């Protein structure tokens, strides 16, 4: 299809999304319950979210995405969706065009667990140089929830920003999140920044209470919003590097013996099982990130990006009902497999909207125009996306050349090739 036709088709869908935005239903009331040790959740008070999605949800991205149940428009030769998908909410989208190939309760506002760290990273990554050093104060680690996942940050030790981001992405370390939040002016300021950035991205299902994703009353997101966070983050080189890193060295404690001071490091490995593999799940061919999460209240959550044969897909899965080990990864794998087979054989049921005020460039040399405004019924606005990121070492995967960037903080390039890690390409 010519670029001009693609641009016109996309502009029409964006305008439709803007006109069809409906009221966001009230966030389900949450209660913190005892958490799985891998991620962390408070044993304080709460109620579980409803077992069924609301009848009316946001229509940001298209009217069909606001409907409960599965939304898909199969062509005559398109493969059927896998039948063994039990997640409460999921979405399959083309990462570059933004087309939503299929979705199930895409705007259901649920507890996100540590997948919320994608928004944390996308918000804070541009604020600090990766080589900047910070000595951890005891106050930096105050207020970390009981049972939280930790990377092993110690007070009175000095870490680079690069070290801390490795702790966030690989080990989902709430301690690393709290230190970076302290560097950003504290938890309250960071929560404010994250909520504002969510609005900029038009992620209007999201309400941040705790920046690390730790269960908290009123903290919600959706499969749609988590996919927006991943898509925005993946346009930052550092984000791509960290989320695709399989293993790395993390600084340990300083030791003094016989007048000599030494500080050894220890290995940390990514908890994303589609990246590393596990006993009952293989590393997914073409996977290149993004982030997993798990608490008792949220269940298992995951957003993944993968590339095969020039196609880049994003899949988000929230809270599979099937209680099997690594089920969230198994369901993500099945949806990715379906997406790669169905990509050119289905009619999109919606789209991933760009940030408000962003300029869309359909292809190199194409004319760009501002996108229309999209907001929920509460009228929350969104502003232009901020860009950032820097290069560096510490990843087990080589980042390809030709980095996709946001120009001047106001251009959102969604049709150009993303330089995903070459090793992931070779796994196809």
Judge contact between 230 and 118, C-beta under 8 A.
yes
Judge contact between 286 and 425, C-beta under 8 A.
yes
Q: How far is residue 138's CA from residue 194's CA, in Å, rounded to a whole number? A: 24
Look at the block and give the residue holding tokens 């999460």.
Answer: 293
Residue 274: alpha-carbon gap to chain centroid: 15
Q: How far is residue 263's CA from residue 254's CA, in Å, rounded to a whole number? A: 4
**Cβ within 8 Å of residue 365, ≥6 positions away:** none
**Cβ within 8 Å of residue 278, ≥6 positions away:** 326, 329
- Give bridge partners of residue 300 from the DSSP assignment: 294
Judge contact between 13 and 348, C-beta under 8 A.
yes
Q: How far is residue 405's CA from residue 361's CA, in Å, rounded to a whole number? A: 12
Tokens of 114: 């540590």
Phi, psi (rounded to 5 degrees) for 274: -80, -15
* pTM beyond cutoff 0.85: no
Tokens of 343: 């990509």
Local confidence pLDDT in tens for the 428 residues of the chain: 443 344 344 434 433 333 333 333 333 333 232 233 345 444 333 334 567 999 999 999 999 999 999 999 999 999 999 999 999 999 999 999 999 999 999 999 999 999 999 999 999 999 999 999 999 999 999 999 999 999 999 999 999 999 999 999 999 999 999 999 999 999 999 999 999 999 999 999 999 999 999 999 999 999 999 999 999 999 999 999 999 999 999 999 999 888 899 999 999 999 999 999 999 999 999 999 999 999 989 999 999 999 999 899 999 999 999 989 999 999 999 999 999 999 999 999 999 999 987 765 544 443 343 433 333 333 333 222 222 232 222 222 332 222 222 222 334 444 444 455 544 444 44
Judge contact between 199 and 260, C-beta under 8 A.
no
- The runs of H, that is alpha helices, within 80-137 are 117-124
What is the tally of helices (H) and strands (E) in the chain? 10, 14
Q: How far is residue 229's CA from residue 14's CA, in Å, rounded to a whole number? A: 18
């Amino acid at each position: 299809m010519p670029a001009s036709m693609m641009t016109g088709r996309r502009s029409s869908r964006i305008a439709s999304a803007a006109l069809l935005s409906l009221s966001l239903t009230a966030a389900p009331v949450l209660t913190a319950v005892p958490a799985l040790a891998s991620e962390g959740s408070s044993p304080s008070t709460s109620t579980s979210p409803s077992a069924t999605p609301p009848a009316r949800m946001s229509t940001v991205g298209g009217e069909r995405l606001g409907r409960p149940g599965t939304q898909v428009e199969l062509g005559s030769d398109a493969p059927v969706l896998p039948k063994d998908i039990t997640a409460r909410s999921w979405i399959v989208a083309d990462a570059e065009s933004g087309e939503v190939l299929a979705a199930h309760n895409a705007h259901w506002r649920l507890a996100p667990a540590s997948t919320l760290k994608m928004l944390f990273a996308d918000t804070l990554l541009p604020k600090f140089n990766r080589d900047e050093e910070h000595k951890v104060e005891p106050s930096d680690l105050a207020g970390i929830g009981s049972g939280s996942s930790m990377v092993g940050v110690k007070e009175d030790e000095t870490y680079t920003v690069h070290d801390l981001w490795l702790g966030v992405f690989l080990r989902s370390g709430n301690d690393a999140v709290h230190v970076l939040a302290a560097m950003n002016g504290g938890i309250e300021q960071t929560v404010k920044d994250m909520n504002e950035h969510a609005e900029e991205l038009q992620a209007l299902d999201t309400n941040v209470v705790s920046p690390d994703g730790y269960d908290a009353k009123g903290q919600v997101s959706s499969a749609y919003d988590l996919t927006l966070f991943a898509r925005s983050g993946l346009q930052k080189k550092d984000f791509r590097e960290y989320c695709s890193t399989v293993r790395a060295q993390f600084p340990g404690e300083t030791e003094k013996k016989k007048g000599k001071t030494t500080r050894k490091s220890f290995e940390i490995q990514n908890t994303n099982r589609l990246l590393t593999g596990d006993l009952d799940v293989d590393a997914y061919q073409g996977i290149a990130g993004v982030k997993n999460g798990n608490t008792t209240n949220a269940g298992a959550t995951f957003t993944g990006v993968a590339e095969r044969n020039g196609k880049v897909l994003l899949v988000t899965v929230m809270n599979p009902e099937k209680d099997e080990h690594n089920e969230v990864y198994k369901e993500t794998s099945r949806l990715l497999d379906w997406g790669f087979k169905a990509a050119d054989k289905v009619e999109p049921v919606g789209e991933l909207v760009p940030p408000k005020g962003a300029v869309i460039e359909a292809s190199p040399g194409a004319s760009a125009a501002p996108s229309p405004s999209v907001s929920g019924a509460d009228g929350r606005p969104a502003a232009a996306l901020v860009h950032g990121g820097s290069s560096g070492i510490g990843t087990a995967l080589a980042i390809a050349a030709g980095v996709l960037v946001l120009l001047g903080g106001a251009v959102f390039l969604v049709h150009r090739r993303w330089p995903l890690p070459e090793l992931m390409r070779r796994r196809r």
